[in-house]
Structure formats: C-alpha cells, structure tokens
Amino acid sequence: MLVDFNTLPEESRVWIYQANRSFTEQEIEEIEWKLNVFIENWTAHGSDLQAGYLIKYKRFIVIALNQNLNKATGCSIDASVRFIQQLEQDYKVDLMDKMNVSYKQGEYIAHKTLADFRKMAKDKAVSKNTIVFNNLVTNIAEFKENWEVPASDSWHSRFIK
C-alpha cells in the first residue's frame, strides 16, 4: 500500500539506493511510476506493506516501510532487491554498490569509489566538513538527522585526518 513518505512513522525502516549518476527528469518520472506500481503491490506473506519513497537529488531512491503494521520478510525484501536490480538494468545505472561514496561539492553531488574518496581525503580534497550521505541509516528518524552530515559525523570520518 503506497502512502506519502512524509506520513510514515519515524521508526519506519529505510533502504537507500544511490545511483552512480544523476537521473534525467524523464527517468525520474518513469522510476516514480514504477515505484508507485511496485509499492502498491508489495506484500509480505499476502499482507499489504505500507510504504513510501523519495527520490532525492536526482540520485537517491529512498524506500521506507512502516513495520508497525507489517514487517518485511525475506521474500518481500528479495522482491524489493529484484525491483532495484531491474531499475539498474533498465537505466544502465549502479544502485546496489555500497563501496561508493556520494558527497556534496557545493550544490553538486559527487560520486566516487571508496578508494578514490580515501585518496581525496588523504590529499585533503575533502575534509571533516564535507557533507556526505550516510546510506547506513536504518529508519526515517535517522534519515532525517544523520543521512546528510559532515564527514566528521559519519562512518566516513575514519578516512579524514
């Protein structure tokens, strides 16, 4: 059951998929339509899942699930992963690689491999004040507070001296 992301409880579980490039406006329209269809039909053992999504900065797909009503199961999580993998194929984009880092450079969102980000930190091209995206947040409350943070407040801090 599709609901507005902003109406979901703070403890709703989130999954964040970051693209290795920005989506075009047309791609965003298509992806939103596909997300609407997927979430409207997303179930766990036959029970509807109450979920919503956001597409942020033309690059991040954030899916949230109200687990107070029904929890995600192995099968429902597998279905969401297959859905994301299909988006990867349809749009020739990488959404599942967790070894990449996205961060802000002014208003621009940069995307680097973890190795490149480490090198940039060593070379002082990024700092503890660089705004990074912590895709390891697990619920909406964390998403709101700890997703878009200075590198010093994230797991990225281990690379910044």
Residues 109 and 79 in one domain: no
CB 95 within 8 Å of CB 19:
yes
User: Does 82 share its domain with 148?
Assistant: no
Same domain as 61, residue 116: no
- Closest of 21, 6, 16 to residue 133, by C-alpha: 16
Where among 91, 112, 127 does a domain terminate?
Answer: 91
pLDDT tens for each residue of 9-41:
999 999 999 999 999 999 999 999 999 999 999
Q: Are 31 and 55 in contact (CB under 8 A)?
A: yes
**CA angle, 114 then 120 then 122, to 5°:** 105
Tell me the per-residue pLDDT of 131-147, one tens digit each, with 9 for 90 and over: 999 999 999 999 999 99
Spatial CA neighbour of 19 closest among 120, 100, 134? 100
Residue ranges making up the domain that contains 55: 5-91
Residue 107 has pLDDT above 90, yes or no: no
Shared domain check, 83 and 14: yes
pLDDT of residue 71 exceeding 80, the answer is yes
The pTM assigned to this predicted structure is 0.93
- Please report the pLDDT score of residue 45 as a whole number: 84
pLDDT value of position 85 = 97
- When divided into structural domains, the chain yields a total of 2
Last residue of a domain, which of 33, 58, 91?
91
